[in-house]
Structure 1
Amino acid sequence: MTFLNKLVNRALKDPYVSTLLKKLEMQYAIHFMGSNTTLQSLTEKEYLDLLRFADILCRSEKYEARNKAYKIISLLYVFYSDDQMFKLQAYNVLVKLGNFPSIKIVLGETEVKADEIIIDHIVKETYQAAPGSSKIFTDTQYKLFEKMKDSNHFSFSGPTSFGKSFIFESFIKYLIEKRNGADNIALLVPTRALINQVSTKLKTVVNNEKYKILTKPIVPLLYKQGETRFIFVFTPERLISYLSENNPVINYLLVDEAHKLLSDTDTRAPLFYHALMIAKRKSINLYFSSPNVPNTEVFLQLVGNSVEETLAIKENSVAQNRFFIDCIEKQALYFSEYSEEFALEYSGYASDPHINLKNAIDILGRNNPNIIYCNTKDDTILYALEYARTLPLRNNYELEQLTNLVQETMHEEYYLVDCLKKGVAYHFGGLPQRVREKIELLFQKRIIKNIFCTSTLLEGVNLPAKNIFILSNAIGLTKLSKIDFWNLAGRAGRLTEDLSGNIICLRIVNKRNRWEDPSKDLQIVKDKSVEKVSSVLMTNQGKFYTNIGRSIKNEPFTRKTVTDNEKRMLDSYGNILAYHALSKTDSILRSKFIDGNTHAKEIITYLEKLNKVPEKILSQSSTIKLLYQNKVLSSSIKPMDIPKETGYGDCLSLLNKLYDLYDWQREESGGRNPLARNRNVLEYYAVLMSSWINSQPVNLIIKRTINYFDENNKEISISNGEFVTFQKENRAHINHIVNNVISDIENVLRFKIKIYVKNYVDLLKIKYQINEEEIVVIPNWDNFLEYGTTDNIIIELQNLGFQRHIATFLKNKYLELFVLEKGVIIDFQENELKEKLQRSNFTQEYEEISNTLGWG
């Protein structure tokens, strides 16, 4: 053991170091609380000793030592940021850690003259430069990147603030450079909400003209010419769709937020697994990224890859401080990293939950960017609205522009308008993409200071802040897992802007899943270690393999109390297993089913006898039971059963047909958010569907839906599952409709119903051997639902990357700049479009088109 290692080990165990750190943490916690308690400041000797210990610890290879060194610097910075000795020692520690983004924070405009540190800095900057960028890898990022370069597949994890997206962006640039632009690359993201965020960022970092960045599973003819290569940003369903057709080969697939693959409550997890197994079958190189997972090899095991190429990173790029404020029991705690928790004085207790929240944000938020996690959509809107009411109106041009956008594209009575006028916002998956993106941009610019949100942050949305207030320890009705809690809490502190962030678990109401049992609930906050994770495919928990066999044969499960979520998961894995068995796909699901179900051979024989559906269709319809697909194929359906028109009556007719053929009464009526609780809901969907696929803008769809509910005296469920008659004058009722319309377009029309429609159309084409060249062509209703139009030019423009409203705008205003041949865009005059838009008054549209085309 070297002398340095001995010093590090001594420092890690030295009680004097722990005593000093506890004193420093207490000083910070009291300062953060704005308490009247007299601060126990460090003595001059204690201050210098801490700097010396940080200098020893930062030289270690052990992540515990390096994290402790960084924690010391982050806490001292609050009190000694102007001290020259601190600047010198902090600069030294940060260079040793390779944490270059934080150096600017510490030094500011100060020039440090210390040759040894400067040389060390220059050497690391030279060797650890990220490809095609002015940015420098931290030591751990560089170590990871070098490992990835030498691997055909890889899996890594790291804290939320580690910079996983930066690693993937750098790896893409490396692949393009190393392989001389020979490969097509895809990024897999868990939800549509992330597609635009990731693709827009890639357009700013990938500057190779050979590459086009696409988000739809169709390569436009315009881009098939020449030596064009592609970077795709797909959700699992889009990847499945792409790989099912004769498209350009994907060579590398980078999987973001891979822990979603392991969820036993997220009904998208089976689809994620299915997409990856298809990619594996196509011999695509797979790279996985996830937050905080200690056993990163689990993802490679699931797809049957060797498990040596992994790295789990535990080193922090941003330090975090943990607090709990209980406004019910009136106690405040700080959770020390290196000793026991301790109580604090706090002056913000009140009897009203909204005042409690306002006090916490005002006292602790202190004009910093703050995220307030509220769990449910209703809470998120309510708390944002109540907090905004206490603030004065803001006079800001960009806020005004966003407010106008919400009024014009959604509804003038929408609650978000009230919030934005005060510089407050709320954020969840049910907001239109363009509104969500503007909120994120203004939050990054600090124009919006406080953002109230649901678990969309856990989908990978990049929204770091100085402080995160966590009002609930659950997602929906399910307690937060450790991975999810630390993924959420990890948003506290922004690399490049903060040395540390603050996690404030805040109890303001005495309700379930709102920190109601602190002794139990706070364990997740106190203990930062995350246990190994696994998938039900490996554990066979709850007689998993017996039950997916029963799902396939439409038999009762082994337990009577199977939740709707569990049923959907079992049915989906049963469908995927059926596909693997029939296509002879070698998978962990298939092999463990054969080992774990005594009737496996009999069930596979049953599948082979039952099935008449082609593999390609099975692959694309993994959420629909094989039983129904075969029933549709053997039924008396005719091509004329697919409507040729797209009016309300046509949509209702199609929906009724799907309801019966696929037995929605049995399969889609259960759970908290069923597709069709009963047949009556189809009338509402027909209103939505006919408006959407006939290219109506969202604000008109909302108005039409409001009129439909008003004229037909329809009921809505406002809260607690109670139904009330819709009232057009009631603002809460209008907001309920607005939120439902946007969510249902995205999740019902463009996802659930689209899958059924596509399956129905595909089976009809097979049954009657219809192809696109024949006179009788079945309308592509699945395309109408996906693109929100029957207009082929608007579909073509969306395939080029434009959002629906921009595609409609371009068709109406600048169609002459696009060269069409048989309805297909084969060229367009991009420079002329740019010039014309720059001279126009369409500033909003110019900005969005500029982002899409990467004009910069």
Structure 2
Amino acid sequence: MKQTDVGKLLNSISKKTFVKYYETFKDTDISHQEMIDRLALDSQKFTPTSRANKTSTARRIFREGLEIEALLIIVGSRADLDTVEKARKLLDMELENNNLSGRAGRMSKDICGNIICIDFGKWFQDNYSNKKIEDVEFKKNLVLRDDVEKLSEFIKNKKEVVETIKNKKEVDTYKQVEGVLVIEKIEGISSVEAYSDEDNLSSIKEIDCILSEIVDKNIVHKSLLKKLVGIDIIAINNLWRLFQENVCKIQTYILINPFGDGVNKRFNDILMIINSIFFNNSKSIDYLSAIRAVSLSWMKEESLKNILFYKFNPEKYSSDEINDKIQSSIKFLNDDIRFTFSKYIYAYQEVLKTFLEQSGKQIYIEKISNYPLFLEFGACSKISLELMSLGIFREGSIELSKHILGENSQEIINELKHLDFGANKMNDYLKRKLREKIKLIR
């Protein structure tokens, strides 16, 4: 829906009414008729038809997910100062409570795995639910059967192929399959014997030959490669050699606490290494600077609003431009930082940890800050992370951490159950959302 349409909807409600009853309009537990009755109690000037129309229109805004756009219009309008200020606070809350908690379950511990999809349309058919796991076709087998020539070309000319393939998921799939085949090769499994038939024999032989050369040059232990399936084995080896060449100053390669002294330079240096090793220096300096700045703000528990508007003053732009900025910023935070760079930072740190173990420098391992975990949750304090692990959204966890003294889950749960919200300076919307979450904690 275009902005002008939302503007028309707002005008039919009135900006003041929309802001005043925002939370009530949004609450789906309140029925349509109850909402109409509330308007009747609070304002006698609305006719029954007017109250019904205002309720229907407001509910439509929320139903179609247009509430942020509506608030942006009000903030940029000439409505009375009280209405604009209330809209601004509501907008802040909507942005703050967007937890961006996708990919639940990975928890920065695994960068790959098998996903088994069940066709529920067939699930209740006779014998379908008894289908054996051996009958499930895994992605690796499908690629080796249907896309073996593309896979072969990818393994031979990775850099050139990556530049021509627009679908990132396709690239990731080929990386995963290559990684699995490398592990199997190290374990003595021949791709020719395991996967070839009369249709793909030539391509499989070619793949097996290339993998043999890669494995022969590998200096990294198999256990590390298993952790990093999907990460280019040549890049892993190059990073290992970098650590070998600089073993005397290896402590300078450790990522320090986001609040630590010198964190900007250290993080910048390591991002430059990651760009060189894993991205062939394809990322620009400005791009890496944005990754560093936004990542640190995110990990240091800054408000989502400030992060989304990095180097952007919303007062100078139209609501359409602000919406575009919000969307691009969320994509940058989720796709570029919390997925792509989190994955390669994880790979970097796993290589470093294994190198430190094998070099007799275990003392440094405990000094490594868990950036992948911090980037996943958008926090680095123990209490905030504990609260989020209990299911509380990011901004609520950050606010609650100011009032919680316990450090383990049980202590925190006990405090939450007896927390006096009346004594805390939180806005009513946040208090209500937190109460709802805390009730669910057992």
TM class by shorter chain equals 0.5 to 0.7
Aligned match of 1:663:
279
- CA deviation after TM superposition for structure 1 residue 417, in Å: 2.1
Q: What does residue range 268-667 of structure 1 map to in structure 2 within 5 Å? A: 383=1, 385-391=3-9, 392-393=12-13, 395=18, 396-398=21-23, 415-417=69-71, 434-435=97-98, 537=140, 544-554=147-157, 562-565=165-168, 566-582=170-186, 591-592=194-195, 596=201, 597-635=204-242, 636-637=245-246, 638-644=250-256, 646=258, 647-665=263-281
The one-letter code of the counterpart of 2:254 is I
SS at match of 2:311: helix
- CA deviation after TM superposition for structure 1 residue 832, in Å: 5.0
Choose which of 370, 379, 383 in structure 2 pairs with 1:780: 370
1:690 and 2:290 equivalent? no
Aligned match of 2:35:
none
C-alpha distance in structure 1 between counterparts of 2:397 and 2:363, whole Å: 27
- Residues 547, 556 of structure 1: CA spacing in aligned structure 2 closer, same or farther, 3 A cutoff? farther
After superposition, what is the alpha-carbon deviation per residue over 1:168-227, rounded to whole angstroms, capped at 9, x for unaligned? xxxxxxxxxxxxxxxxxxxxxxxxxxxxxxxxxxxxxxxxxxxxxxxxxxxxxxxxxxxx
TM-score between the two structures when normalised by the length of structure 2: 0.60
After superposition, what is the alpha-carbon deviation per residue over 1:388-414, rounded to whole angstroms, capped at 9, x for unaligned? 233222643425779xxxxxxxxxx95
C-alpha distance in structure 2 between counterparts of 1:436 and 1:786, whole Å: 11
Aligned match of 2:306:
700
- CA deviation after TM superposition for structure 1 residue 580, in Å: 4.0
After superposition, what is the alpha-carbon deviation per residue over 1:594-630, rounded to whole angstroms, capped at 9, x for unaligned? 8641234423422431333344433443332111111
Choose which of 806, 809, 816 in structure 1 pairs with 2:396: 806
C-alpha distance in structure 1 between counterparts of 2:206 and 2:392, whole Å: 50
1:836 and 2:419 equivalent? yes
Aligned match of 1:493:
none
The one-letter code of the counterpart of 1:834 is K
SS at match of 1:387: helix
1:757 and 2:384 equivalent? no
Aligned match of 1:253:
none
- CA deviation after TM superposition for structure 1 residue 766, in Å: 1.6
C-alpha distance in structure 2 between counterparts of 1:603 and 1:696, whole Å: 47
After superposition, what is the alpha-carbon deviation per residue over 1:630-652, rounded to whole angstroms, capped at 9, x for unaligned? 11111235331334364544433
- The answer on whether the counterparts of 1:648 and 1:686 sit within 8 Å (CA) in structure 2 is yes
- CA deviation after TM superposition for structure 1 residue 800, in Å: 3.3
Identity across aligned pairs (percent)?
16
- Residues 654, 553 of structure 1: CA spacing in aligned structure 2 closer, same or farther, 3 A cutoff? same
1:736 and 2:324 equivalent? yes
- CA deviation after TM superposition for structure 1 residue 702, in Å: 3.0
- Residues 664, 774 of structure 1: CA spacing in aligned structure 2 closer, same or farther, 3 A cutoff? closer
- The answer on whether the counterparts of 1:787 and 1:804 sit within 8 Å (CA) in structure 2 is yes
- The answer on whether the counterparts of 2:143 and 2:151 sit within 8 Å (CA) in structure 1 is no
- Residues 614, 399 of structure 1: CA spacing in aligned structure 2 closer, same or farther, 3 A cutoff? farther
Q: What does residue range 700-719 of structure 1 map to in structure 2 within 5 Å? A: 700-706=306-312
The one-letter code of the counterpart of 2:297 is S
TM-score between the two structures when normalised by the length of structure 1: 0.33
- Residues 828, 388 of structure 1: CA spacing in aligned structure 2 closer, same or farther, 3 A cutoff? same
- The answer on whether the counterparts of 1:577 and 1:590 sit within 8 Å (CA) in structure 2 is no
List gaps (5 residues or longer) in structure 1.
1-382, 403-412, 422-430, 438-455, 460-486, 491-532, 667-675, 711-726
- Residues 560, 786 of structure 1: CA spacing in aligned structure 2 closer, same or farther, 3 A cutoff? closer
Aligned match of 1:117:
none
Which is richer in helix?
2
1:854 and 2:440 equivalent? yes
- Residues 625, 399 of structure 1: CA spacing in aligned structure 2 closer, same or farther, 3 A cutoff? farther
The one-letter code of the counterpart of 1:579 is I
- The answer on whether the counterparts of 1:432 and 1:742 sit within 8 Å (CA) in structure 2 is no
SS at match of 2:401: helix
C-alpha distance in structure 2 between counterparts of 1:420 and 1:534, whole Å: 53
- CA deviation after TM superposition for structure 1 residue 806, in Å: 2.3
- Residues 792, 833 of structure 1: CA spacing in aligned structure 2 closer, same or farther, 3 A cutoff? closer
- CA deviation after TM superposition for structure 1 residue 809, in Å: 1.8
- The answer on whether the counterparts of 2:155 and 2:207 sit within 8 Å (CA) in structure 1 is no
- The answer on whether the counterparts of 1:628 and 1:661 sit within 8 Å (CA) in structure 2 is yes
1:791 and 2:381 equivalent? yes
- The answer on whether the counterparts of 2:264 and 2:292 sit within 8 Å (CA) in structure 1 is yes
Query: Whose relative contact order is higher, 1 or 2, with alpha carbons under 8 Å and at least 6 apart?
Result: 2
C-alpha distance in structure 1 between counterparts of 2:71 and 2:214, whole Å: 54
- Residues 640, 848 of structure 1: CA spacing in aligned structure 2 closer, same or farther, 3 A cutoff? same
- CA deviation after TM superposition for structure 1 residue 754, in Å: 0.7
Aligned match of 2:133:
none
- Residues 733, 772 of structure 1: CA spacing in aligned structure 2 closer, same or farther, 3 A cutoff? farther
Which is richer in strand?
1
- Residues 645, 618 of structure 1: CA spacing in aligned structure 2 closer, same or farther, 3 A cutoff? same
After superposition, what is the alpha-carbon deviation per residue over 1:24-82, rounded to whole angstroms, capped at 9, x for unaligned? xxxxxxxxxxxxxxxxxxxxxxxxxxxxxxxxxxxxxxxxxxxxxxxxxxxxxxxxxxx
- The answer on whether the counterparts of 1:547 and 1:558 sit within 8 Å (CA) in structure 2 is no
- The answer on whether the counterparts of 2:73 and 2:319 sit within 8 Å (CA) in structure 1 is no
* Bigger radius of gyration among the two: 1
C-alpha distance in structure 2 between counterparts of 1:750 and 1:699, whole Å: 17
C-alpha distance in structure 2 between counterparts of 1:559 and 1:742, whole Å: 25
SS at match of 2:174: helix
C-alpha distance in structure 2 between counterparts of 1:654 and 1:560, whole Å: 24
C-alpha distance in structure 1 between counterparts of 2:139 and 2:430, whole Å: 47
After superposition, what is the alpha-carbon deviation per residue over 1:330-366, rounded to whole angstroms, capped at 9, x for unaligned? xxxxxxxxxxxxxxxxxxxxxxxxxxxxxxxxxxxxx
